Amino acid sequence: MYCLQWLLPVLLIPKPLNPALWFNHSMFMGFYLLSFLLERKPCTICALVFLAALFLICYSCWGNCFLYHCQDAALPDAAHDPAIIGT
């Protein structure tokens, strides 16, 4: 399970508060995962464990899924702050 040490931080990186940056964040994470899978070629067990964790996080809408924003999940209070959105 050595290869999981490079995949688990992807699940822990928080989404940006600014909704305008969500697309950039998801593209960066997607390209990171694609390049990691092509370059390092993790074992099948590690890849399946990571994909299962990613599926469960995104399916449960905990709010840390980098692929999309769940419709039922509320935005953080700081997302409505004009000082953050204006930057």
Distances (CA, A) of 34 to 15, 54, 70, 72: 19, 14, 23, 28
Rounded to a whole number, what is the distance in angstroms from the first to the last CA of the chain?
A: 40
DSSP tally for the chain: helices H, then strands E: 4, 0
Query: Would you state the pLDDT for residue 73?
Result: 53
Tokens at 14, concatenated = 């928080």
Per residue in 41-83, pLDDT (tens digit) is 888 888 888 888 888 888 877 666 766 666 655 555 555 556 6
Residue 87 has pLDDT above 60, yes or no: no
- Containing 34, the helix (H) or strand (E) segment is helix 22-40
Residue 86 has pLDDT above 60, yes or no: no
Q: How far apart are CA 72 and CA 67, in angstroms?
A: 15
The rounded Cα 48 to chain-centroid distance in angstroms is 16
